[in-house]
Structures are given as C-alpha cells and as structure tokens.
Structure 1
Amino acid sequence: MLSPSSIHRPWRKAASCFPRSTTKRVLSSNVVAVNDDEGPKRFWSKNPETGRYQRPIFVAATRQHVGKTTVSLAVLSGIQKRFDKIGFIKPVGQQHVRVESLKSPGKEIRVDKDVELVKERFHLDHLDYEDMSPILIPRGYTKDYVDGKIAFESQLSDLESSMESVAAASDITICEGTGHCAVGSIVGLNNAKVASIMGADMLLVANGGLGSAYDELELNRVLCERYGVNVAGVVINKVIVEKYDQTREYMSKALMNNWGIPLLGCVPDRPFLGCPALADLERLFKTTLLCGEEHRFRHYNVGDINVVTTNLTRFLENLREKPKRTLYICHVTRDDLIVGFMGEHQRRIANGEDHEFEAALLICGRKKKYQLSAEISDLLQGLEGAPVMVVETSTHEATSMIAQYTPKLNIDDTNRVGVAIDHYEPYIDFDEILRRTQTD
C-alpha cells in the first residue's frame, strides 16, 4: 500500500512558484487540505469508516484522440457505484459551452463541454458548474498570459478554490485533463503540474498496441516524474480485438518490469464509437441538415461511404442492394441523383418500408461555382425521414475530411455515451485503482 512518503513530491525542484506556508485545515468532516513546506494544498478525502485517505484521480492521455473522455466517463460510472458522492473537475478546458450559473440563477457562464456532459449524465447536483471548470483557455488566452495580462497566481487561486469546493462536497474527486500531460505548459498549467497541485494520482490512457503505446507512455510518465506525480496505473484503449490477449499480457509485463506500474484497464476496440453521427458532420462542415433533422444522431460507418458517380439507374440499384445505413455523397449538379434519392424514399413509404430506409445524402459543391437549384431545394424542404445535407466542399474534400475526423462524445448524443460507458466499464479494475490511490 502506498504511503505519503512513497509519493514524495519534489516541490522545490519542480515548482518554485508554489506557496510555502504550513497549514492544515479541515474542509468538512471527511476532507483535509494541507499546505506544507514541500508545496501546495493536497485535497484528500477521508473515509470515516476506514480512516484512510482517498487521493484525487487525474485521468490524462498520451496524445490527442485516444479516448480520454470515454475512459473518464467509465471511471466516473464505476466509482459512482462505490461512493455516495463523487466530485468531478476539468481543471483546464478549451472547448466550452454556455450554461446557467447555479450560484447566480439567470446568469449565463462558460464551462468546458465535458463538464456539462458529466454533471448532467451523473446527476452531480451537489456541485456547482463554476467549481467544475475553473480555467478556460479560449482564443487569445495564451497571448494574454505571455504578455503578462493573466497572472499565474490568479490561475492557481481559481484552481485551488474550485478543488477545495468540489472536494469538500464529495467523497472522491475525479479530474479530467486536456490532451497529453504537457498540454497547457505555455500558461504554466500542464496536466502533470495541475495533478501535482491537487495532490492527485495519475491514470494514463494510451491507444492500443505495444511499442508505440509504450513510447508515448514513457514521454508522459517522465513529465509526471518531473512534477512528483504518482502514476497509479495505465489504461490501454482501442485494442485490436484479435490482438487483445497479447496486448494485455505483454503491456502488463512491460509496465510492471520497467516502472512498477500496473495495467488497470485494457479495452478492446468498438468501431461504433468512432462512427460519426450526422450531428457530428454538421459541426465538421459548419452546416445543418436540409431535411431529416429527426435523425441527427444516426451514426454512419466511414467504411460504408459511397461517392456516387454512376447513372441514376445504377444509383437506385445501389440504394436497394447496399446496407440500409449508407452515407452517399454526390455533386450538387447531379439533380437526377438527388431526385432519385427522394423518390426511393417516397417509394418505401408507399410500400410501408420507410422504417428500412436509413440512407443519408451529402450534396457537395463549392458555392462560388455551383449551387443547389431553388426547385430542388424546395422539394427537399420538410422531407421527413430522409436526411440530406449540403456542404460547400468538393466530394473529394468531403470524404477526406470525414475519414480524418474523430467524433467526440457530447451531451446530446446519449446513445453513444451510454454505449461507450457500458463497453469500457467492465474492462477497468476499479478495486485496484482505489487501492493504489488510498493511503493511511
């Protein structure tokens, strides 16, 4: 079992800007905040039954698009089954949404988008939005920081104040980082440093594989070591199903033999989670569905995208032969294909087969050169059950953008969020996570 001495944090070397006062305050009946000669506050929750302290758990990734938010959601779900009140904080956020302030009803504030998702999904009514998202980095923020318009001390104060509030109201606190461990360094708040400020233990998430995943983990582990952050364990994500047993066995050996860190989760790939919904494509192309809005959260396999260059007869044959949930792409000048798509949908309705029509049509064309005719646009307006979207790119650009796009979990796509949590949770060792993040 880890003791405080085994996770000693070399503050003098890593963070000379931290305060040095020596105080100990009880924030609530089960939370203590400590400032000592070695560095800043540590917000540890005390279990009144066992007398043991639970340190915050900080989830960070080795790079972008590895499934950090999905792992965070699964961790929250599993931990919520073991504690009455769980806390959540996204210390440093980038993409934000507007929500109503709970502290000041009627006032609109900005919070990280993942904070809204977590608070609503897990019904964290004991927490305030302001405390869950203390620092946002919008466009221009880094320049202001470098110019001296934003002080590190003010960021630190906001961060500690939020952590104090969340910890005092919770039995355990889960923190979600932003990207890999070095993200945020330019404003003095990379993930490793933030975890050290909070006295949190790190849970590192990497994509499936052996060599490349291990290399990425090493880069992030070294930065954690630089700031004296204890890495509790690793979760390997999106593992190729055929290589699952091999990856779990050898990654576990490599981690324990070289670092003494356990593999706390090994999650096989679930392709559906990487399939964009039409709502994702709306965000990607900065447009909205022309019709079929009721199917915004219908997902499409990128491998089933079909760029239509054939004649109308062959296209109609394709519509009836291909998997019913296929995303078709055509040029805006192909009025015959657009009318044919609508006609096939109407035929299905007339035959009582409309429930089997799940195809969607993406109409491409640069606005300065080509435009959808007013007559075709009028026909599409209000057409239910047949999603059609017009985007201002070439067909080649559209397919490339979709192929390179990584859809993100969001509060509106409840189906994908639920599937993600249900898929990930069984593959994570929650008992071992808690054992390695508690101390006497």
Structure 2
Amino acid sequence: MSAAAPRPLFIAATRQHVGKTTVSLAVLSGLRKRFGDRVGFVKPVGQQHVPVGAKGIRVDKDVQLMKEYFGLNHLRYEDMSPVLVPRDYTKRFIDGEVSSDDQTSKIQDAVKRVQETSDVLIYEGTGHVGVGAIIDASNADVARRLDADVVLVANGGIGSAFDELEMNRAVLKDKGVRLRGVVLNKVVPDKVEQVRDYVGRAIQERWGVPLLGVVPDLPFLGKATLGDLERLLDGELISGRRYRDLHFGTQDLACVTTAVRRFLRKTHFRQAEKNETRPLFVTHCTRDDVLLAFLAYYKRSTVPLPDGVMDRDGWLGAMVLCKGECDMDPKQSVEDNTHLPYLVDIARAYDAPVMLTKLGTVEATNVMANFTAKMHVGDRSRIQAAIDHYEPHIDFEKLLG
C-alpha cells in the first residue's frame, strides 16, 4: 500500500437521483490507484436487485456494476450485498418475521469477510440518510454500526444544497456518525467556483467539515441508452439493434404530430441550426408518411465509415412507433393501429433504429421524459465517461485526511 488506510467511507446522499453511485464509482477508481486492487465495496442494504452468476443469486444492481466493471475478484457477491429489501419486506419486518438482530448480523458478518481481503473499504447507501429507518437499518444506523465516516452527496447550488445537507447532517449527528465531507454534484459549469467558495466556507465554518468536490454538470451522464428505453417502454427494436447503446436525453425527444413537410423542415433545422444530431422521434405507428420520411432522412444524413459503422459524430436519429390508443384520434381502435410491412422491410434494410411499443404517443413521451437513467454494467461508455469526469473533481487528500 502506498498510503495509510483510512477509516471506512460510507457514501450517502441527501435524496434520490443526486449521483451517489456515480460518486462511488469515482471514489472507488481513485482509491484503487492509491491503494491497489484490494479495495472493498459493500452495499449493506439494497433495494433494486438483479440475478448474477451461474447460481442466479440476487444482489443490488450497484454491486453488480462495481464488481464487474472493476473486476473485484477478491470479493464474493453474497458479501457485497448482504441485505436486500424486496416487496413486502417492510411488512414482514413489522410483523416480526424479520429480526433486526439477524439483519444486523448479516451485514456485520459480510463486512468482516470483505475486510479480510481488502485494505480499504467503501460502503454505498440508499437514498437519503434516513432511508430504511422503518426496518431499523437507515443509512445513518448502518454507518454507525459499521463505524464508518459518511460522505454526503448533494446536487449543486448554494441555499438549496445547504438546506438539504443540514437536514441529513442533523440525522447523522443524532446517531453519532462523523461526517467526513461533502461532494456537490451537477453544478452549473459557470457557477462552480462561486459554489465552491460559498458552500465551502459555510460548511467549514459552521460544521468543521471540508468540501471534498464540486462536480460540474455533464448532461451526457443523464442520458439513457436506446436499450434502456426499449426496456422502459416494453418495446422492441424492429431494426437498428446495433444502436442499443446509443444515448438519448430528454431534450432529444420530439413527439411528431405534424405534416411530413413540417416534420422534415424541423428535423433539418434542428440539425443545421442547433446541431442536434441525436433526435428521438415519437409518433403513432399509423403515420406511415412520417416513418417513410424519417427513413429517407436517415438514409441521406447518416454517414457510413469505411468499416461499415455509422459515424457517431454525425446525425443519427431514432424513431419510436406507438401502437397504443392514437392520441390524435381516441376513437381509433387498437386493432387498426398497424403499420405497412414494406416500411419495416425498408427500416431493416437500412438498419435504422426504429422501435415499436404498445404505448400511446403521449404516454410513451411522458414515460421517457420522466425517466432517470441509472448506471448499469452494460453501459460501459457512460461508466467510463462518469469516472473520467468526476474523479479529477474530488479532493482525495481531504477525503483521506
């Protein structure tokens, strides 16, 4: 080891969707560079879980992400994700079917095994520091039992960020948990230095806690892949399956209800004037004219490279065809919501990214607009982009001090 091992770090957040897992990725990456491969990772209490390995054991999805991406072969899945909270778990806990002592023992026994093979240890929490209190396993409770220091992650700003941090800090203080420091995430780029100055001074003077990092917003990290959206909409890519890892953001959504000429004008304007090269069009599957126009524009505007792969720096739009109730004509029956087979043949011949879903156009658009894309092991380009973006903005000297 090149440095003295710090106390265990518990990465927590002020609420959902503030970038806790992304910060954990960056911290884990930075610690591996300083302490070698023997960095341990545990998510003591997990909610969203997935099957892994030949035995199909279920673990928290973030555990799968960390273990597979970083190759944490010195750790067992079972130890990295000791307690899961599936549906009805809370009711079973209140009914006495789940014991608080057994739950705590599971976590502590798993952590002990991880410590035996690790030189430094990171825990990742779930939501804000009070989440899990009803099962006697809030983030603050678990951090106290594991004798870990907490790193709080909040979204950027000054007043609102401080208010959220103060509420969570109060819970930690009540539980006797030490706050190691704060990371502010998704800060407006031209406000980074201002936020660093004011929030840094405020938390240092009032709490004696350092500001460990201020991370400017990078919109790409909030974008879902076409594969994510395929699962979200319970849809099917009828062509262009090789583009499942192509990223689209909420700002890329465009629900098409206009005439074809206007659709093409707007599409060309978005590309030429606004440099919007990744539009995600949503329309009803009976709009054969719009689909045909999209395919023609796709054929003209996408640029194949010598190896046959499309130039991803150029234009590469996608289309979602909706089979649900036609929002422009509610009386239309679902049975009438079909598309012409020859257009599907054209889409497949062009290998254009076209998806089919049973949802209606408005519903599909709203579902995608309200979706928060999460890091997962299949989206390696976004994982690496997140680490590259976050890690330089975290002050590891303060973190390990």
Q: Which moved more, 1:268-277 or 1:188-197?
A: 268-277
Aligned to 2:370: 404
Q: Which moved more, 1:273-282 or 1:121-130?
A: 273-282
1:89 alignment partner AA: V
SS of equivalent to 1:111: strand
- What value does the CA root-mean-square deviation take over the aligned residues? 2.2
2:174 alignment partner AA: R
Does the 8 A contact of 2:238 with 2:344 survive in 1?
no
1:416 aligns with 2:382: yes
**Residues 222 and 389 of structure 1: CA distance in aligned 2, closer, same or farther (over 3 Å):** same
1:245 aligns with 2:197: no
SS of equivalent to 1:71: helix
Does the 8 A contact of 1:291 with 1:380 survive in 2?
no
SS of equivalent to 1:358: coil
Aligned to 2:395: 429
Does the 8 A contact of 2:298 with 2:317 survive in 1?
no
Does the 8 A contact of 2:302 with 2:316 survive in 1?
no
TM-aligned CA deviation for residue 385 of structure 1: 3.5
Q: In the TM superposition, what are the counterparts of 1:34-53 in structure 2 within 5 Å?
A: none
Aligned to 2:329: none
Aligned to 1:62: 14
1:386 alignment partner AA: A
* Cα distance in 1 between the residues matched to 2:304 and 2:192: 45
SS of equivalent to 2:35: coil
TM-score (norm 1): 0.82
Q: Which runs of 5+ in 2 are unaligned?
A: 326-332
TM-aligned CA deviation for residue 169 of structure 1: 0.6
1:92 aligns with 2:50: no
1:193 aligns with 2:146: no
1:284 aligns with 2:232: yes
2:253 alignment partner AA: I
1:236 aligns with 2:192: no
**Residues 194 and 381 of structure 1: CA distance in aligned 2, closer, same or farther (over 3 Å):** same
TM-aligned CA deviation for residue 392 of structure 1: 3.0
* Cα distance in 2 between the residues matched to 1:74 and 1:351: 35
Aligned to 1:326: 279
Aligned to 2:319: 361
TM-aligned CA deviation for residue 304 of structure 1: 3.0
Q: In the TM superposition, what are the counterparts of 1:11-410 in structure 2 within 5 Å?
A: 54-84=6-36, 85-100=38-53, 106-321=54-269, 322=271, 323-347=276-300, 355=311, 356-366=314-324, 369=334, 371-373=337-339, 375=341, 378-379=344-345, 382-383=348-349, 385-410=351-376
* Cα distance in 2 between the residues matched to 1:165 and 1:401: 42
Does the 8 A contact of 1:335 with 1:376 survive in 2?
no
TM-score (norm 2): 0.89
2:252 alignment partner AA: D
SS of equivalent to 2:316: coil
**Residues 302 and 261 of structure 1: CA distance in aligned 2, closer, same or farther (over 3 Å):** same
* Cα distance in 1 between the residues matched to 2:30 and 2:5: 19
Q: Which moved more, 1:398-407 or 1:244-253?
A: 398-407
1:359 alignment partner AA: G
What is the aligned residue count? 382
* Cα distance in 2 between the residues matched to 1:327 and 1:308: 10
* Cα distance in 2 between the residues matched to 1:271 and 1:57: 27
**Residues 233 and 397 of structure 1: CA distance in aligned 2, closer, same or farther (over 3 Å):** same
* Cα distance in 2 between the residues matched to 1:291 and 1:269: 33
* Cα distance in 2 between the residues matched to 1:173 and 1:212: 31
- Percent of counterpart pairs with the same letter? 47
TM-aligned CA deviation for residue 350 of structure 1: 10
SS of equivalent to 1:179: coil
Does the 8 A contact of 2:79 with 2:110 survive in 1?
yes
Q: Which runs of 5+ in 1 are unaligned?
A: 1-46, 101-105, 436-440
2:367 alignment partner AA: M
